[in-house]
Structures are given as structure tokens and as C-alpha cells.
Amino acid sequence: MTDVVLSIHRGHVRLHTDTDDNSEPEWPLGDELVAIMNDPVGAGAAEFTGALEPGASPQERIAVGLRLHEGLLGGAPEGLWDQVQSDASEGSPLRVRLDIDCLPLAALPWELMRDRRRPLWRNSRVLLRRGRHGGPPDKCEDTEASRMGPLRALLVVCNPNDPDLLADCELAMIGAALTRLPGRVHTEVVDGPSLSQLAAELEHVRPHVLHFIGHGMSAVEGDVGGLHFNAQQPVAADDRQWKAAQEAWVLGPDEMHVLYDRWRPRLVVLNACRQAHAPAADLAALVDTCLDRGSAAVVAMQADIESPAAAQFSHALYQDLACAKSIDAALTEVRNQLHMAEPDGPSWALPVLQCGVDDPGEVVRVEFGYKEPELTRLGESWPFGELAMFLGRAKERRTGWWEQCDEKPPQRLMAITSAQRESGKTWLAKWCLLTCMLRGEDVTYADLAAYAGRGNGDDPVTLDWLAVLRALRKACTDPRQPDAMLPVEFARFNQVLNRALRGGKEWAQRLPASSEDRGGPFVVESDRHAEARKREIFQAFLSTLRSRAQAHRRPHLLAIDHAQGIIESDFRSVLRPLLFEPVQELTDEFPLRVLVVTPQSWPGFRHLQEFMQSDPVALTDFQLYDYKRLAREFWERQVHSSRVPRDWTFKGFEQVLDAALQGSSKQSFPVTAYQQMLDVLLGMAGMREAG
């Protein structure tokens, strides 16, 4: 919540503290700021705003920051400000909102404000933000589904064909920022959309964060203020350019109203140059539209930000959002990161955080099914370690976990498939498990390839229905699972299994049986009840998993990878009617769900499709444009994970990729291609060192 409000109104400054005495000290605004407030031309403000230009010196910015501090707090009662912040600490920061009701004063770079010791807006003990009197009630989407993680962000590239925008670099830096805590933030990208296309994406993704990457308001008088889309059109047949030209248009307040009719994001990030004060009226119109229509906060740039700094800004921001920091704490850390990267530059002061709600902690807060440190421990457990390098597949990821978690009623049976090899089916399945686990579900990863590959010599074996059941039981009790089942939970199943496998008198009379699996085969000739015995085995297996879900009071998602190892006839005649179809028909409050992962070439896939209620998630190889974009993200993830030396540049990796593509007629590439190219580069470097 807000602890202190500093408001500038009619030439006076008022301080409101969240205390019982309701005292509101008031003092006159400094003469220099009063003159700016009363200047209709705005000439006096130019000296202040000029400190944010790239040509301004650090000394000029320091001087402006001191003048702003003196104008705002110089007339306050002696010792008041020191007293207000005396108890603040990093663990319990003071939250301060600066309200300004005068547009010329609002256009000043308050983020430069400093006392003799330090900049106020880079102090992690005192978290400052801008706000306004009488902000709207929180109209953000606040249903249970919208509150559940992951945090969803829609990244909008306004001009995908503009090489100066460095959009691919910024997207790569965002991806790298999320490497350490995979699954916490879900990002999707839309390139150069029309207004209707952008509105449709908002409906599909329902983002908590709407993030624009582009060029903003022009300083030329008479120009339409807003975010410019598709201003740069393709000039030649170039694989690096976006697929098709779109009509140029401008996103202004009227167009923003259209978007908010579809969805209200909690946070809007305008990572584009020249929104904040050129011209100032356009900033107020666009930002106020977002706040008036229900967004909790807007972050905009108050001067030109260079594209490399914009990418660094996004990297630092999403790193903190993944760590669940409040938006004001995140922006303070972002400023410090930008200052360390460019100590003499103005980038750290360019982001303006404007909140329309009283508690900044509510802006991007989402909920997960576990608390820290358990949340991080589970996310780092087997089998999720490799997911830090999982690239792309944003829509497929959303389809996978959303249909699993948020459908009413949820899908009980899903499939992931592909016509190509090495398309990332296993990674996507593990990502679905990770997301569902972070949301509080039990998950089990069962890799049938670990069992189907154990033949004599090099000959693989296929799995009959009984081998599949035993493999699933072993997977559920594997101690590496995030929340493994205990072997004793399968005691009753093992008893039923031992009786039903042998049949005859032992099964018919329900004689006592061992709670440990004897490992025997299914005896067909023992009696006339073979089908009934199979049915009882599967009912006992499903009952075990359902009892687990009911006892834990949370769903259980079982992912069966490499299902192509199952004998097709056993899948058709036994597993389909006795396992998969019953799962789909369950109506439990805490459901058991099954995710099947298989190539389309497996004959059993046809039988799976015949009775599934939803279409499978189908993966294809990366197309050329996405392949080029994701190559940079792959590289940045390697660098930030210290898998390659930090002094290496993307250019060398790109040259290896270009050499591999040269003369190739391919238009699509497997998910493993990046690692193969990196191995080539590392091998070349090793040879040079050895030589």
C-alpha cells in the first residue's frame, strides 16, 4: 500500500502519511517550478527535459535533479523528509506516490530528482512512483483464473521490418531473463498486427502485461500522437524481414479504447521513444486511457531510449517480474541495472511508472500453488532442468497448459504430436507438467522409451499393455518425481494384479495375495474371465491414482512420453477401452488427466484421435523467420547461463548459422539445430586453442 503521498496542487506541496494523526503538512512549491507551472509556452521546462538528451552530461543531470529536489522539498518543515523515511529498509521499504495535477510540471523529469547523497528514484529503501488524485477503482480482470500464474505477457512488435528497432534483440533478452525461473512468465509475440489482429490476440492470450516494442509519439507538431505500426515496409526479398507487409497505422487513445473492449491488461509497457513529453498532451491522453479503462499501471519512456538500452530495460524488468517483485520495486532495480550498464547515460531515468491503484504490489501479482522456497525447489527438480533452453512454441505452450488447467470442465485427455522428428514434443510435454505443477497440481512424467529400449543387443522391444501399466507405476513412484507417490500407495493394485494375472481359483475366490508385484505374465488360458480380469486390473490402477488426487485435494497430470513404444494392437484392444477412454469419462472433483506424447507416424495415434474430445497439439519444425529470431534468443540464453564466454558475440554464431543455411533449400529446421551449430562453434574454438 501507499505510505506517503506527495501532491503538487496550485503552487503548493502537501504530504500525506498513512498515520493515525491525519496530519498533512503543506509548504509552497519552489519559485522555479512555479514559474514553469505558469508558463503557457513551456520554455522553462526545456532546460529540465534537455538533461535527458544523449548529449547532456552527467553533471547537467545531477544539477537538474538537485533543482527538482529543492523545488519540491526545499520549503518543507526542517527534517520532515528525513523523519518520514527514517524507518524505511530494503525489507520494509517506504512507498511514495508523487501526484502532479499540472501538465507542464508532470512533463519534468522527476526521476532525476536527488539530494546531495543519491538519486531518490534509485533508492531501494524508498520506492517512488507517479500517480494521481482520485484514480479509478481497480477494474483489472480479477477472476480466480486471471489470478493464477504464470504471469502472461503479450509482446507487440510494432515495426518488425525496422532493423534499427532491434526487436529481435529485445525479445531475446526477455527470453534470457526468464531462463533461471522457467514457467513463471508466459510470453507471446505478435508482429506488426493490424488493430483487429491485435484485439484478437488480446482475447486469445488475456495478458496481465501488454508490452509494446516500437517507435512512439513524434515531436513534430501536428503529427498524430501514438505508437506507430508498420511504418517500415519490406524493401526486398529478405529472409530476415517479416513475412508480409501490413498497412501502417497509429495506436492512439481512440484505438486503445477498442483494445480495452476486448481485455484489460493490468500493466502496459510502452517501451518506445518519445511518448512522455513530445508532445506532453499525447502522453496524458494515451496513458490516462489505459488507466481510465482499468489498467493498474503504465510504464512509458519520457525521452528517446536507444534500442540497446531498451533491450536491457526489458531484460531487467522481466527478470524481476519472474521473481514476483512488485512493480515499483522492479522499476527501482531496473534503474540500478541501467545505471550500472551505462553510468554516464540517461537511460536509468527514462522509464516513468504511473500507477492508478493504491497498492503497487497488486499490479502484476499472480498466485501459484506453492510458496517459496518450495516453489523454486520443485521448478528445479527432475525432469525440468533442461527447460531453461526450451525456445519458441508459445501458442502451443498456452494450448497445452490452458486446456489442461483452465477449461471448464478441464480436458481429461490430451495429446502432443508431430510429423517431424526432433520437433520438441518432449520439451513441450515437460513444460505442460511444469506449468501445472507450479499451479499446484501433482504431476508425473513417464518416459516409455526408458522401457521400450531394453531389448537384446540393439533390438528395441515394444511394450504390451501389462508392461505399460508397470512402467507407469514405476514412474509414479520414481523418487525423482517432484512429488513422487509412495510404493505402499500401490499395495492394493499389486494385490489385484497378482490375483488377476493368474486367474483361476485365486482370482475367483479373492484369495489373499502379496502386496508386492510378483512380476508374472497375464495367463490367458487359466479361465474364461480374461477380459474381466483385465478390467479389474485397470480399475484398480485408476482407483489408486484417483485416491491420490482426492487425498491431496488437487488434480494429477500423468504425461506418457514416447507412446509409440506401445504395441498398436494392445493400445487398440486394451489400453484404449480400459485406460484412456475411462480417464476421459471421469467426473471427479480433483481429476486425473493424461497427456500422451507420440509421433503422428505411430499407428496407434489414429485410434487415439478417434475418441479424443479435443484436437492434439501438433508441432512443426521452425520456419525460417522464426528460426532466425530464436537463434538470437538461444544465444542470449547461453550467455546468461554462462554456457559460452561472455566476451563472445552473437555475430560469430550467426555466421555459423548462415554458412549452414547457404545453398540449402530448407524452409524449416528442427529444434536441435541451434545446439548443433553451437557445438560446431565450440569445436572450432577448441581447435584454434589446440593449434
Segment 191-233, tens digit of pLDDT: 999 999 999 999 999 999 999 998 765 545 555 568 889 887 6
pLDDT reading at 456 higher than 80: no
pLDDT reading at 13 higher than 90: yes
For residue 91, the SS3 value is: coil
**Residue 323: how many other CB atoms lie within 10 Å:** 16
| Rounded mean pLDDT, 269-293 | 71
Q: Residue 307's pLDDT is what?
A: 85
**How far lies 275's CA from each of 194, 212, 353, in Å?**
20, 12, 13
- Domain spans of the chain, in order of start: 4-98+106-124, 144-362, 383-619, 628-690
Highest mean pLDDT among 143-152, 263-272, 409-418, 616-625: 263-272
Segment 85-137, tens digit of pLDDT: 988 999 999 999 999 988 889 989 999 999 988 999 999 999 999 986 444 44
Which residue in 678, 670, 686, 644 sits closest to 176, CA to CA? Answer: 644
pLDDT reading at 457 higher than 50: no
Q: Residue 689's pLDDT is what?
A: 63
Element (H, E) at 285: helix 280-292
Q: Residue 276's pLDDT is what?
A: 42
Range 383-619: architecture per CATH: 3-Layer(aba) Sandwich (3.40)
Residue 673 binned pLDDT confidence (cut-offs 50, 70, 90): confident
Given a contact cutoff of 8 angstroms between Cβ atoms, the answer to whether 98 and 30 are in contact is: no
Which of 407-411, 487-491, 549-553, 681-685 has the lowest average pLDDT?
407-411
pLDDT reading at 302 higher than 50: yes
Q: Residue 184's pLDDT is what?
A: 95
| Rounded mean pLDDT, 586-599 | 91
Residue 569 binned pLDDT confidence (cut-offs 50, 70, 90): very high
Q: What is the 3-state secondary structure (H, E, C) of 464-479?
A: CHHHHHHHHHHHHCCC
Quote the CA–CA distance of 298 and 288 in Å, as a whole number: 9
Could you tell me where the DSSP H helices lie in 54-150? 58-73, 80-84, 103-106, 144-147
Quote the CA–CA distance of 366 and 321 in Å, as a whole number: 10
Distance from CA of residue 102 to its chain's centroid? Answer: 37
The grid coordinates of residue 228 equal 506507430
Strand segments, DSSP code E, in 94-192 are: 94-100, 126-131, 151-157, 185-191
Express the helix, strand and coil content of the chain in percent, nearest 5 each.
45, 15, 40
Residue 139 binned pLDDT confidence (cut-offs 50, 70, 90): very low
Q: Residue 628's pLDDT is what?
A: 81
Given a contact cutoff of 8 angstroms between Cβ atoms, the answer to whether 677 and 658 are in contact is: no
Cis (ω within 30 of 0) for the bond into 670?
Answer: no
Position with higher pLDDT, 614 vs 70: 70
Element (H, E) at 492: helix 491-502
Quote the CA–CA distance of 362 and 360 in Å, as a whole number: 5
Quote the CA–CA distance of 645 and 652 in Å, as a whole number: 12
Task: State pTM to two decimals.
Answer: 0.92
Quote the CA–CA distance of 446 and 383 in Å, as a whole number: 10
Q: Residue 21's pLDDT is what?
A: 60
Strand arrangement of the beta sheet that strand 592-597 belongs to: 442-447, 556-561, 592-597, 413-418, 617-619
Quote the CA–CA distance of 303 and 277 in Å, as a whole number: 7
pLDDT reading at 537 higher than 70: yes
Segment 511-534, tens digit of pLDDT: 888 899 999 999 887 677 899 999
Q: What backbone torsions phi and psi does residue 91 show, to the nearest 5 degrees?
A: -75, -25
| Rounded mean pLDDT, 447-467 | 73
**Residue 247: how many other CB atoms lie within 10 Å:** 10
Quote the CA–CA distance of 36 and 71 in Å, as a whole number: 11
Which residue in 91, 208, 94, 82 sits closest to 151, CA to CA? Answer: 208
Quote the CA–CA distance of 218 and 304 in Å, as a whole number: 10
| Rounded mean pLDDT, 147-153 | 91
Given a contact cutoff of 8 angstroms between Cβ atoms, the answer to whether 306 and 165 are in contact is: no
Quote the CA–CA distance of 269 and 246 in Å, as a whole number: 23
Residue 478 binned pLDDT confidence (cut-offs 50, 70, 90): very high
Cα distance from N-terminal residue to C-terminal residue, the chain? 62
Quote the CA–CA distance of 570 and 237 in Å, as a whole number: 52
For residue 249, the SS3 value is: strand
Q: Residue 680's pLDDT is what?
A: 81
Q: Name the class of domain 144-362.
A: alpha beta
What are the beta bridge partners of residue 360?
none
Which residue in 283, 296, 289, 302 sits closest to 327, CA to CA? Answer: 296
Segment 25-72, tens digit of pLDDT: 999 999 999 999 988 766 788 889 999 988 899 999 999 999 999 999
Q: Residue 623's pLDDT is what?
A: 79
The grid coordinates of residue 202 equal 488480446
pLDDT reading at 653 higher than 50: yes
Q: Residue 76's pLDDT is what?
A: 93
Residue 666 binned pLDDT confidence (cut-offs 50, 70, 90): low
Quote the CA–CA distance of 483 and 438 in Å, as a whole number: 12
Can 144-362 and 383-619 be said to share one CATH topology?
yes
Q: What single-letter amino acid sits at 638? A: Q
Quote the CA–CA distance of 5 and 618 in Å, as a whole number: 53
Report the helix count and the strand count for the chain, using DSSP H and E: 26, 20
Position with higher pLDDT, 404 vs 73: 73
Crossing angle of helices 650-661/624-640, nearest 10°? 150
β-pairing verdict for 592-597 and 617-619: unpaired
Average pLDDT, the chain: 87
Q: Residue 146's pLDDT is what?
A: 65
Residue 367 binned pLDDT confidence (cut-offs 50, 70, 90): very high
Residue 282 binned pLDDT confidence (cut-offs 50, 70, 90): low
